Structure 1
Amino acid sequence: MSALLRLIAVLLVLGGAYVVVTRPDTLPFSLPWQASEPGAPSPGTPGPTDGSTLRTDPLGRVTDEAIEAFVARQPISLQALRARKFPGSALKVVRTLNAGVNYSRQVVSYQSEGLTIYALLTVPAGPPPKGGWPAIVFNHGYIPPDEYRTTERYVAYQDAFARAGFVTLKSDYRGHGSSEGEARGGYYDPGYTVDVLNAAASLKKDPRVNPKRLGLWGHSMGGQLSLRALLVDPDLKAASLWAGVVAGYDVLATDWKRSPQTPPPVIDGLNRRYLRLLSPNSALEDLRGRPIQLHHGTADKDVPYSFQKALANDLRAAGQPVEAYRYEGDDHNLSQNLGVALRRSVAFFKKHL
């Protein structure tokens, strides 16, 4: 059976639509220091992002504490996000859709930084169990914001979790479809992460949901958002990441080539330390045993399989539990192994939520 026929067979079984390849958005890795001469800059080198002066040691080297303080001032950093509040709001029903096999489907809205964000909500049929249903914040990958529609893409994926008895909430993110706000990308601007965290907070307010049984699913860019959200909100218990952009920023800045004609930039030691500390990967000890599951195809042309390997290695080095699945020859959407990967993710959440 050809790969195309296998894909069609899987989609017919799952009863949903397939997601188009999701190209990552541009990574504006602006570095705070000019990488000219090797070694540390001279004492008092200003960080041009905010004009501050970095502390140096007696030998004129920038200290780790100074870099950490500089990182903490960046809005995308874990430190900055942890200092914020994510109240969410009650989920407001906008439109009721045709029901799934054993669950309802609705377009809903919630509030995030004063913006109205739309989302697709599924709720299992029947009365909730004691304490409420387990729930998954469903984080999609890159789709051009002006092409995005709430009810399109990822239908089969979301259906698999909904059938298994999970509430799911797929946020559009700001600037996507009818959602308010500006779409600035998911890697170097905190907006989408804020929307994910407010989506989780909104689920906690829903009386049908058990706020102690919340997890995250993320694909591609959504993998990065899920990883960062997991490290910001300790109430989120587990994450399943598919073909995620989940390597550290130090790796993304050099190993994510756009084309053979675009060589990777040369980054000096100071900027590499900055990028590493800015990454969620630098704080994996803060997971405190909350598990992560990884899925990636080796023939992924959009996000290299090496990114999964990098995060898996970082998690193991930090002593954190991880399941990592390698799909030989599969693509960015795991089209050849979609059913297997979904069953593994459902089993993972049933175990940990």
Structure 2
Amino acid sequence: MKRKCNCRLWQVISIIAIIIIAVCIGLIWIIRLNEKKHSLDETMQAWESGIRMDRIDTDTDYLEELESYSRGLKKEYMDYVEYQKEDSVLLPADQILSYRINYKSGNETIDGYVAAPKDYMVKSYPVLIFNRGGNRDYGELDPTTIEFFARYGFITMGTQYRGGGESSGEDEFGGADVMDVIKLIDYAKKLDCTNGKLYLFGWSRGAMETYIVLSCDKRIDAAVAGAGITDLKKYYVEMNQIGNTEMTGILRELVGNPKSDSEEYEKRSAIKWPDKIDTPLYIVQGMADERVAYHHSEDLYEAMDLLGKDVKLTLYPGMNHLDTPWTFLDDYFYWLKQY
């Protein structure tokens, strides 16, 4: 009889303990739901002193033109679409907020943009950092690019890099400018209005930047890198062989002499350190790319795949350097959101 009473007593105690635990979990969730979220500009202003974040008008007409342009390219190259045969449903162009930012990176003040859906404080969106191509003012980031990507359901950010746009300092083409991207990652990680996911998307020089960032910063959930240089010294030789003195001159000016500054070239060459990239990575490129030979993407993929990395490669026959990213945005953003 005594043994039966003890068993019943323990059953009652167990039930009470379960109820208490459930109530505590419920209270924690209620508290979290009622915690005040901070807006993009509130977080930016609280981040560091000397930072500016100014609202700018969203060019809705141009955003709709970009959508039409992207959809037209996708239709033309539908045979190469892997994931999203149906067009993604984009947020309306007039439902995007846009900001110009100036933030500190080392001793430099960096110019950039942030865009987000207007309901980002109600819904939790992932963050997408876009790394542009070009160098200095060539290929300068336009706010409409950031705004257009935000229509896919991202809080989107992008930097002009030092020496580009209204940024101070000198462009180092994958040198200290990498810190300009990492500072945006720092900012993104301080936001409490996101779903906690953080992605990178880089094209051309921006893909090279993406590889370098992934090698030293493990806070990224997944990345897409397109048409990027993966062996800078080999790229210099290739440009020299076709007589592209403009590009070899830029590399000598921004990076150094490929012989005497060989180490600087290796720092910017992911093929030299594929073991350092652990983030899920989708490498893409057109096979008719007139600016960067597609073997750069293929070589890095093979090196990472050999190491058992989470890496995917898609090469598009007949596609060039500039049209490719706008053609397959649906695929790229679908893939990112799986992580």
Whether these two folds match at TM > 0.5 is: yes
Q: Distance in 2 between matches of 1:276 and 1:101?
A: 44
Give the aligned length. 248
Instruction: Please list, as runs of the form range in 1=range in 2, the aligned pairs for 1:131-142 lying within 5 A after superposition.
Output: 132-142=124-134
Aligned match for 2:273, one of 259, 274, 283? 283
In structure 2, distance between residues paired with 1:180 and 1:250: 27
d(CA) in 1 for partners of 2:115 and 2:208?
Answer: 23
1:57 maps to what in 2? Answer: none
1:95 maps to what in 2? 55
* 8 A Cα contact 1:298 1:330, kept in partner: yes
Q: Residues 277 and 203 from structure 1, CA distance in 2 versus in 1: closer, same or farther, beyond 3 angstroms?
A: closer
- Larger Rg, first or second structure (1 or 2): 2
Aligned twin of 2:337: 350
Q: What's the counterpart of residue 224 of structure 1?
A: 208
Q: Which residue of 1 aligns with 2:235?
A: 252
Distance 1:158 1:177, change over 3 A: closer
| Structure 1 position 259, deviation (Å) | 1.9
Q: Does 2:103 match 1:110?
A: yes
The answer as to whether partners of 1:302 and 1:332 remain within 8 angstroms in 2 is: yes
Deviations 1:142-176 (A, max 9, x none): 0552x665536xx3x54453112111101011111
Residues in 2 aligned to 1:274 and 1:261: alpha-carbon distance in whole angstroms: 21
Structure 1: state its 5+ residue gaps.
Answer: 1-87
Structure 2 gaps, min length 5? 1-46, 61-92, 249-257
Q: Residue 19 of structure 2 aligns with which residue?
A: none
2:271·2:299 contact (CA, 8 Å) conserved in 1? Answer: no
1:70 corresponding residue in structure 2: none
Counterparts in 2 of 1:25-104, with a 5 A limit? 89=48, 92-98=52-58, 100-104=93-97
**Higher normalized contact order (CA 8 Å, seq sep 6+, divided by chain length):** 1
Aligned to 2:167: 179
Letter in 2 for 1:303: V
Determine the structure 1 residue equivalent to 2:119: 126
Give the AA of the match of 2:129: V
Counterpart Cα distance in 2 of 1:149 and 1:248: 24
- The Cα offsets for residues 48-90 of structure 1, whole Å up to 9 and x where unpaired, read as xxxxxxxxxxxxxxxxxxxxxxxxxxxxxxxxxxxxxxxx848
The residue type paired with residue 312 of structure 1 is: Y
Conserved 8 A contact 1:296-1:334: no
The structure whose residues are more often helix, as a share, is: 2
Q: Report if the CA contact (8 A) 1:217-1:239 is conserved.
A: yes
Asked whether the 8 Å contact 1:160–1:342 carries over to 2, the reply is no
SS of corresponding position for 1:236 = coil
Aligned to 1:201: 186
Q: Quick check: 2:270–2:300 contact (8 Å CA) kept in 1?
A: no
Alignment of 1:329-340 (within 5 A): 329-335=318-324, 338-339=326-327
Q: Distance in 1 between matches of 2:142 and 2:133?
A: 15
The 3 A distance-change label for structure 1 pair 350 and 261 is: closer
Q: Offset at 1:108? A: 1.4
| Residue 286 of structure 2 is aligned to residue 297 of structure 1 | yes
Alignment check: 8 A CA contact 1:230 1:238 kept: no
2:304 paired with 1:315: yes
Q: CA deviation at 1:272?
A: 8.3
Shift of 1:101: 3.8
Shift of 1:283: 3.1
Question: Aligned partner of 1:207: which letter?
Answer: D
CA distance in 2, matches of 1:316, 1:278: 20
Residues 118 and 150, structure 1, Cα contact 8 Å, conserved in 2:
no
Give the CA deviation at 1:277. Answer: 7.4
> By how many angstroms is 1:305 displaced?
1.0
Instruction: Tell me whether 1:169 sits opposite 2:190 in the alignment.
Output: no
Q: Secondary structure at the match of 1:122?
A: strand
Whole-Å Cα distance in 2 between the matches of residues 301 and 278 of structure 1?
A: 21
- Percent identity over the alignment? 23
Q: Is the contact between residue 112 and residue 194 of structure 1 (CA under 8 Å) also seen in structure 2?
A: yes
Alpha carbon RMSD of aligned pairs, Å? 3.1
- Contact kept in structure 2, 1:228 and 1:280, CA below 8 Å: yes
Give the Å deviation of 1:274.
Answer: 9.4
